[in-house]
Amino acid sequence: MLFSLSKMLNSIKWLVYSIILLPFLTILPVSVSLSNTTLNVIAGSHSDSDKIRAIDSLKSSSSLSWNDINDFVYQLQDIDLAAIGDTKYDLAIIDYSEDGSESGRFSSKEIETLINSASGSKRVLAYMSIGEAENYRFYWEESWDADNDGQPDIGAPAWLGPSNPNWPGNYKVRYWEPEWQSIIFGSSTSYLDKIIDTGFDGVYLDIIDAYEYWGPGGESGEDRETAEQEMVDFVVKISEYAKGKNSDFGIFPQNGAALGAYEEYINAVTGIGQEDIYYGYDGDGQKTPGNVTKELEGYLDVFKDAGKLVLTIDYPFPCSEDKPCFNKKTRRKINIAYRKSRGKGYIPYCTVRNLNYLTINPGHRPE
């Protein structure tokens, strides 16, 4: 009888404990790790999407965080992954393809090898132009400009504009058009998805300043009042899409630093690259006018103060657009560019305009 009474009291005790603890148990997260994907199971949630969330399934294998970046290399042509891997640069900005074509795409294994270089772990960004179309990319159709006169032919998409006279084969685009944006991101065959699937750590977005061409007073003559905001919106959408697949994916626009005035733009990016801040604005090897440097630094400080990486790219070599010349004059310019950039809390790099050379600047070797 005493034994039965004791059992009954124990059962009552555990029932009371269960009633007390149950509300707390239902809010505790249970984390289950599956390969590179983390599934967070939230007990007591009210929707299926809240119960299971797949997060960061394509997270980088790099041991470097974005805040660890102290130097970088920028090369888009004649890329030798092994040579870049042999350097100690923390960050490499390269094309996603050996020659820009689809057939020349780097493999996931090649990019993983570069990220985990024997000379030191790296972060690797893939270049992607979102303000111009390039006639050697996978999406291009020859019929769009069959006579190569730089003007879209009849039947070309409405988003396609005239060619850039300074860069043959590059065409202005009306980047706000959904058809162009769908080429850039949003499906398994889009440009951004190819980059993500290959294992790049992030994307380096070029021709951000296309809003100046289409906007009020711009060369297009269209005086589109909404051009600036539409570029902001475009970059934000790219960021949201990429970070939905990998929250650590880096978003680095190049130039167009004035867009830092938009809070949503600052929040969307990991950092920014700025060309010609100290040398090259009026021509390679030429010092950038002081008023231009001051204006650019003012814009870039907004990013820096928000905790974003600021990369500066200068072109101090007047001798060639293809190969640097390290004479006394250019060494002095390199030293000035590095000193000024570092002094502002930026990360400097000097190279040639064609970005076809793995430049290691004397006195500023990566560490």
Alpha carbon 115 to its chain's center:
15
Q: What is the pLDDT of residue 141?
A: 98
Q: What is the pLDDT of residues 160-215, one digit of tens each?
A: 999 999 999 999 999 999 999 999 999 999 999 999 999 999 999 999 999 999 99
Angstrom distances, CA of residue 223 to CA of 116, 211, 213, 214, 217:
47, 10, 9, 6, 6
What pLDDT is stored for residue 48 in this prediction?
Answer: 39
pLDDT of 367 reads 87
Q: What domains can you pick out in the chain, each with its CATH number?
A: 1-55 (no CATH), 60-350 (3.20.20.70)
The pLDDT score that the predictor gives to residue 61 is 66
pLDDT tens per residue across span 16-74: 444 444 444 344 343 333 333 333 332 333 333 333 334 444 566 678 999 999 999 99
Q: What is the mean pLDDT of residues 347-365?
A: 97
Residues 279, 272 contacting (CB under 8 angstroms) = no
Q: Using one digit for the tens of pLDDT, what is the confidence trace for 267-284?
A: 999 999 999 999 999 999
Q: Quick one: average pLDDT of 77-83? A: 98
Torsion (CA) 146, 218, 352, 306 in degrees, nearest 10:
-130
Band the pLDDT of 15: cuts 50, 70, 90: very low
The rounded mean pLDDT for the chain is 88
The structure's pTM equals 0.85
Measured between alpha carbons, how far is 122 from 129 in angstroms, rounded to an integer? 22
Q: How far apart are CA 277 and CA 312, in angstroms?
A: 7
Model pLDDT, residue 277: 98
